[in-house]
Amino acid sequence: MISGWIKKTDRSRPDWVDSLGVFLLALAWAAFAGPPLRRALGELSVAAFTFGLFLIPVGSAWLCGFRMAATFRLRMPGARDAAAGMILATGMLLAVIVSSAAVSALIPNLPVSGKTFRTNVNDPDLFRLIVSVVLLPAICEETLFRGFILSGLERGTRVMGSAVLCGILFGLLHMEPVQIPFTAAVGVGLSWMALETGSIGIPVLMHAFHNLALLAIARFGFPFLSGMTGGSVLSRSVLLWCALIVASLLSIFCIVAGVRLAKQSTGRKSFSPVSFP
């Protein structure tokens, strides 16, 4: 019975079983590839590790004979889609910053590792830093998640259900317990935008913007916080919480505006393989 169902299934792009299999391969890569790559490649190990997340889905699609354009949503996005993505990305970034600050204030001793990222932030070679921290993760991780994995999940669940599942898997792959909820929430937004626009280009752009903003914050800090160092502890606390409230309101505004702008396009694009060249 199962074999008969599989034969009738469209195999021009992945299904949910393929997506789960590729995710498990990527999870094994994330868990075990780091140490040998560091020993073999040294400073290039971070780029090699990230590129592996690109090769896993692309190689799997090639071996299975899936159509690349349909599997990875290789469609040129429109200007309105790009604008919607950037507005939504800004809202999600503010939400992550506010949530992280609130959690840190409530649980000050919460352990966070992030060793690789902190090491990269201090790299004096800014070009290499941008490539390894901003561009490569955006391209490779989106190819894996908003490309291969989301294509399979979409075929077995509703639109929002596949976006949520893809976001959760995205958070789990990062293997940082404290950051999983924030990463998963961002993953849901990226997945929804990929489904709404029918293009992987928008999530890549949003992901790169998110990484660049976090890199700038980690490297240069918050400039506006320098004005909060004076005065009493109470006054600094009030200023900080006021800033978080303003950022929260701005985040909500950007998220709502980004979603509405995305929906003002021609509607959710069809992902049938016949709609791709």
Would 257 be classed as within a structural domain? yes
Would 276 be classed as within a structural domain? no
Q: Specify the range with the lowest mean pLDDT, choosing from 50-54, 184-188, 204-208, 237-241.
A: 237-241
Place of tokens 């660049």: 212
Would 1 be classed as within a structural domain? no
Other Cβ atoms within 10 Å of 44 Cβ, number: 14
pLDDT digits (tens, 9 = 90+) for 136-170: 999 999 999 999 999 999 987 788 899 999 999 99
Would 275 be classed as within a structural domain? no
What total of structural domains would you count in the chain? 1
Burial class (CB in 10 A: 0-12, 13-18, 19+), 22: buried
Please report how the helices 79-106 and 180-197 are oriented relative to each other, as an axis angle in degrees rounded to 10.
Answer: 170
Q: In this structure, is the dihedral angle defined by the CA atoms of residues 131, 169, 175 and 103, taken in order, positive or negative?
A: positive
Would 5 be classed as within a structural domain? no
Query: Residue 211 is part of which domain span?
Result: 10-270
Which carries the bigger pLDDT value, residue 149 or residue 274? 149
Would 144 be classed as within a structural domain? yes
Would 92 be classed as within a structural domain? yes
Would 116 be classed as within a structural domain? yes
pLDDT digits (tens, 9 = 90+) for 72-131: 999 998 899 999 999 999 999 999 999 888 877 777 666 555 444 445 677 777 888 899
- pTM value is 0.86
The encoded tokens of residue 152 equal 């399979």
**pLDDT band at 229, cuts 50/70/90?**
very low
pLDDT digits (tens, 9 = 90+) for 3-57: 333 344 567 889 999 999 999 999 999 999 989 998 999 888 888 999 999 999 9
